[in-house]
Amino acid sequence: MNQKKLNSAFDLTGQTALITGGGTGLGLGMASCLAAAGAKVVLVGRRQDELTKACAEIGAHAFPLVGDVTKLDTAPALVDHAEKLAGPVSILINNAGVHLKKPATETADAEFAAVLQTHVFGAFALTREAGRRMIERKSGSILFTASMASVMGIPLVVAYSAAKSAYVGIVRTLATEWGPHGVRVNAIAPGWIASAMLDKALSGDPARKAKILSRTPMNKFGDPEDIGWTAVYLSSPAAKFVTGVLVPVDGGAAIGF
């Protein structure tokens, strides 16, 4: 295999990616990597300042788009706006999310529903709209940001676990239903990734940090780019025969002891 063919396998030139929660954290990491691979990236979020800063960091191939995935009826307009900014959306990354850490017995119905509204209902509404257009074009890649909570029991996050576990079923069903139309659907399950959010979660809790590292065979935290390059692969021609999978990027945490 020559270098040109190798490079083209991971080349996203001419592709447009719509990334929810794209202004910070893992969303920004994925957006940066997809842009580096040649894609135009439309970053969706609720805060204009975050999105503008993120797009300036990425460069000319990044476009900010203020939107709220919990407002389900706005999904068609959101995709319309993204396509006006950067062309037909060929890659969708459902990354927007909220977290709730509470004992299950203290988790109210409204709190449980709010987590599902963002992760499940919001992601599905956008996926349905973008997927319809991808089916018409006979091509597309859809990714969901799943979690370690999709594959293992983690206490105090029952709503989050329910939402992230739902992604696994959605991915498998849509991969089966849309595969004949050229649309691939996959998920990434990040492990513990170095970020401001993780720093905050572990601040003043050395025992928790030690527990996480002790059950991670690689004995370290990941970087946002670890998730980003996985997203590039799953969105690229290199993964043209990959659909319906959940890819842990976790330093071995899901199988560690």
C-alpha to C-alpha distance for 257 and 251, rounded to whole angstroms: 12
Please spell the DSSP secondary structure of 73-99, one letter per residue. GGHHHHHHHHHHHHSS--EEEE-----
Taking only the tens place, the pLDDT of each residue in 135-185 is: 999 999 999 999 999 999 989 999 999 999 999 999 999 999 999 999 999
Q: Is 160 annotated as catalytic?
A: yes
d(CA 153, CA 149): 6
What domain range includes position 231? 12-194+225-248
Amino acid type, 125 = A
Residue 23 in any domain: the answer is yes
Could you give the maximum distance between any two Cα atoms of the chain, in Å? 59
Q: Which helix (H) or strand (E) holds 63?
A: strand 62-66
pLDDT of residue 246: 98
Q: Is 206 domain-assigned?
A: no
Residue 155: phi, psi to the nearest 5? -70, 155
Q: Report how many domains make up the chain.
A: 1
Q: Is residue 144 part of a domain?
A: yes
State the CATH number of the domain containing residue 140: 3.40.50.720
pLDDT at 1: 57
Residue 203 lies in a domain: no
Show pLDDT as tens, one digit a residue, over the chain (257 residues): 577 777 799 999 999 999 999 999 999 999 999 999 999 999 999 999 999 999 999 999 999 999 999 999 999 999 999 999 999 999 999 999 998 999 999 999 999 999 999 999 999 999 999 999 999 999 999 999 999 999 999 899 999 999 999 999 999 999 999 999 999 999 999 999 998 778 877 888 889 899 999 999 999 999 999 999 999 999 999 999 999 999 999 999 999 87
Catalytic residue among 63, 124, 160, 229: 160
Model pTM? Answer: 0.95
SS3 track for 13-49: CCCEEEEECCCCHHHHHHHHHHHHCCCEEEEEECCHH
Whether 253 is covered by a domain: the verdict is: no
pLDDT at 3: 75
Q: Looking at the domain assignment, is residue 4 inside a domain?
A: no
Confidence at residue 115, expressed as pLDDT on a 0 to 100 scale: 96
The answer to whether 16 and 86 are in contact (CB under 8 A) is yes
The Cα-based distances of 250 to 21, 24, 220 in angstroms read 20, 19, 10
Cα distances (Å, whole numbers) of residue 210 to 198, 207, 226:
13, 5, 21
- Residue 5 inside a domain? The answer is no
Question: What's the pLDDT score for residue 129?
Answer: 98
- The answer to whether residue 160 sits within a structural domain is yes
